[in-house]
């Protein structure tokens, strides 16, 4: 069972870190989530960079708005995902807020191109754990598109 989700978020103020996406494997799910990859791109057209950070187990004060996962199972009924995915909304700062980001797992920078963080199914999230994806724009009002592909076993 594989899934993906994509969203575009505008990051308001330069050099400010914004929580963008919270990806949670809920307590009692009985499954492990395997992240295949996280892809992001600066979709503003500006030559300024966007830095993306991935954290484990943030302290969340407001979980934000739900993002819809899409099944990658073609030709049959789509299995239900156990993962809870929320995001800050179309413009950050938004409804996803954290009081502590957690442990920084990865940091990547993208200018105009698409950047693919290939975990090769090696980023595992057990039940009652989560990752936070945040963004830091190098200019005001930069938009970034983020895509996540994962599996649940």
Q: Residue 76: what pLDDT? A: 66
What percent of the chain clears pLDDT 90, i.e. is strictly above it? 48
Please check the confidence at residue 46 and state whether its pLDDT lies above 70: no
Spatial distance between the Cα atoms of 54 and 59, rounded to a whole number of angstroms: 14
pTM over 0.75: yes
Residue with the bigger pLDDT between 11 and 48: it is 11
Tell me the average pLDDT of the chain.
Answer: 88
Residue with the bigger pLDDT between 68 and 23: it is 23
Spatial distance between the Cα atoms of 153 and 149, rounded to a whole number of angstroms: 14
Confidence band, pLDDT 50/70/90 cuts, at residue 87: confident
Spatial distance between the Cα atoms of 131 and 146, rounded to a whole number of angstroms: 14
The stretch 76-90 carries a mean pLDDT of 77
Confidence band, pLDDT 50/70/90 cuts, at residue 45: low
Please check the confidence at residue 67 and state whether its pLDDT lies above 70: yes
Spatial distance between the Cα atoms of 147 and 136, rounded to a whole number of angstroms: 17
CB neighbour list of residue 46: distance below 8 Å, 6 or more residues apart: 112, 139, 142
Q: Residue 82: what pLDDT? A: 79
Q: Is residue 2 classed exposed, middle or buried when 0-12, 13-18 and 19+ CB atoms within 10 A define those classes?
A: middle
């Amino acid at each position: 069972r594989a899934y993906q989700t994509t969203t575009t978020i505008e990051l308001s103020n330069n050099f400010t870190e914004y929580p963008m996406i919270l990806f949670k494997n809920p307590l009692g799910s009985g499954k492990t989530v395997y992240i295949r990859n996280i892809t992001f791109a600066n979709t503003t057209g500006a030559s300024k960079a966007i830095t993306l950070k991935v954290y484990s187990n943030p302290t969340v004060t407001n979980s934000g708005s739900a993002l819809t996962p899409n099944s990658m199972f073609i030709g049959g009924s789509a299995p239900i995902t156990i993962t809870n995915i929320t995001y800050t909304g179309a413009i950050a700062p938004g409804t996803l807020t954290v009081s502590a980001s957690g442990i920084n797992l990865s940091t990547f920078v993208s200018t105009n191109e698409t950047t693919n963080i290939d975990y090769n199914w090696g980023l595992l999230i057990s039940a009652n754990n989560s990752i936070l994806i945040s963004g830091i724009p190098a200019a005001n009002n930069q938009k970034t598109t983020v895509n996540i592909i994962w599996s649940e076993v």
